[in-house]
Amino acid sequence: MAYLSFPRFSAYLHRLVVRLGLVLAVAGAALSLPARGEPGDFTIGGFGTVGMARTNTNDVEFVRDLSQPRGARKRWTGNVDSILGLQANWRINSEFAAVVQGVSRYRYDRSYTPEIAWAYLKVDPSPTLSMRFGRLGTEFFMLADSRLVGYSYLPVRPPGDYFWSLPFSSINGADAALTVPLADNTLRGKIYYGIADGKIPLEDEQWNIGGSPMMGAYLEYQAGPWLLRGSYANIRFNSNLPILQNFYSLVPHYLTADQARTSLDYLRVDGTRSHYYSLGLVYDNGPWQFQLMLNSIDQGSRAFADSYAGYALAGYRIGSVTPYLGYSWVRSRNYSPSSLPGVTQVQADSFSRQGTTIVGARWDVARNVALKAQWDAIRGDSASIFPFRRERPGWDGRVDVFSLTMDFVF
C-alpha cells in the first residue's frame, strides 16, 4: 500500500482547494445572475487597508508579522499594513454554504501575489452544530482568524508582541463548532485539524512549513457584553530551518564534521511539536471597549525560545472617534544559549524581551470606513531581535513606530 507523505498531501490539498475555490466562485457567480432579486443567495464583499508606517531609526526594520521579509525604517512605507481582500459567499440552501476569500498583501517573496486565504464548504446539520471543510483561517489565539481585517480591530494592527509568533494564516482541513444556549448566555466550543500551508522568511531564505499538521480547540462563554475564551493548539513541524544546512559550509574552516552534525541535531525542528495556550477576555458595551489577552508558547525545538506574552487594550467612543490606549509585552523564557559552535546565533534570532505602549485614535469617518493614527513605543533589551528584520550592531532595543491607515469593508 502506498502512503502519501505530509508534504505531498499538503501540495495536493493546496491545488485542490485553489481549484475548488475558483469553481465555487465561478459557479456561484453564474447561478446568481438570474437571481439578482433574491439577496443572500450569492454575495461578494471585501475588505482592505491602505496604510503607511515609519519608525524613528534605521538600525532595525519593523514588521507586522513573521510573513514579511522587510519592514519599516525612517522612510514611510505602505508594505507593512496595506492589504486587499475579496470574499464570495454562496448560500446553497439552508444547510450548505460556500465561502472563498482571496487576499493580496506584502508576503514572504516580497510580492503582492494574491493567494487563497479561505475556500471552504460549510455544513449546518442543526441550529447548534456547524462544520467547515477546506482552507480555513487559523484560530490559535482569540481574534487571530480575522487579524488581516483591519476594520474589525480597534488599533491599526493586532498587537505584535502577542501575535508575532503566529506565522500560520491558514490550514487545509476541517473544523466543527457546537453552540449551546445557557439561559441568556451562550457556550461555544470548536475543534479543528488541518495541514499548514505557507513560508516564513528567514534572512534571505524561506522556511517552508507546508505539510505540517496542526490541531486545536477552544471553549468560549458569552454573557452580555463579555466574551471569555480559553484555547489550545499545536503544530508538528515537518522540516528543518533552511539556515541549518549552512553549518556544513563551515566545514572544515570553522567546524569539524562532528561539530556540524552535533549542532544540527541540537537545533533539529523536523518532527518537533510546539504548543500554544491562550486566554482572552473582551468587553464591548456602550462607549467602552476592552481586551485582555494572555498566551504561553512551549517550543518543541531548542532552536526557538519558549515565551509568554499578553496585552491590555481599552478604548472609549466619543461620537465617531475612539481614542485608545494599550500595553503589550513578550518575554522569552527557559532561554539557555548553547555553547556549541554556531548554535547561539540561531537561538538568538528567537529571543524577545520587550514591552510596547500603544496610543492611538480611530475615526469612523463614514459607513464602513475608518481612519486611524497610532504610535507604538517599543522598549526592549538590545538582544530582543525577534521578529525584527536587519538589526544593526549597536541597536538598543528601542524603536518608535508611527502609523496612518484607512480601513474599509464593502
Spatial separation of the C-alpha atoms in residues 98 and 91, rounded to whole Å:
7
Structure confidence by residue, pLDDT tens digits, 157-183: 999 999 988 767 889 999 999 999 999
- Nearest alpha-carbon partner for 162 in 140, 190, 187: 140
Spatial separation of the C-alpha atoms in residues 69 and 358, rounded to whole Å:
24
What structural domains and CATH numbers belong to the chain? 6-409 (2.40.160.10)
Structure confidence by residue, pLDDT tens digits, 291-305: 999 999 999 998 888
pLDDT for the residue numbered 249: 64
User: Alpha carbon 25 to chain centroid distance?
Assistant: 25
Spatial separation of the C-alpha atoms in residues 300 and 209, rounded to whole Å:
15
Cell of 395: 541597536
In sequence order, the 6+-apart residues with CB closer than 8 A to the CB of 306 are: 296, 297, 298, 299, 332, 333, 334, 335
pLDDT greater than 60 at residue 20: no
How does DSSP assign 131-184, residue by residue? Answer: EEEEEEE--SSTTGGGTT-GGGSSSSS--HHHHTT----EEEEEEEEEEEEETT
Structure confidence by residue, pLDDT tens digits, 240-254: 888 766 666 655 566
Which residue did the predictor score with more confidence, 289 or 267?
Answer: 289
Cell of 176: 466543527
Residue range 138-142: mean pLDDT, rounded: 86
How does DSSP assign 175-209, residue by residue? Answer: EEEEEEEETTEEEEEEEEEEEE--EEEETTEEEE-
Spatial separation of the C-alpha atoms in residues 400 and 376, rounded to whole Å:
6
Which residue did the predictor score with more confidence, 132 or 199?
Answer: 132
8 Å CB contact between 216 and 231: yes
Structure confidence by residue, pLDDT tens digits, 181-195: 999 999 999 999 999
pLDDT greater than 50 at residue 38: no
Mean of pLDDT over the chain? 87
Structure confidence by residue, pLDDT tens digits, 319-360: 999 999 999 999 998 777 777 767 787 888 888 999 999 999
Q: Cis peptide leading into 7, omega within 30 of 0?
A: no
pTM score > 0.75 for this model?
Answer: yes
Cell of 178: 457546537
pLDDT for the residue numbered 16: 44
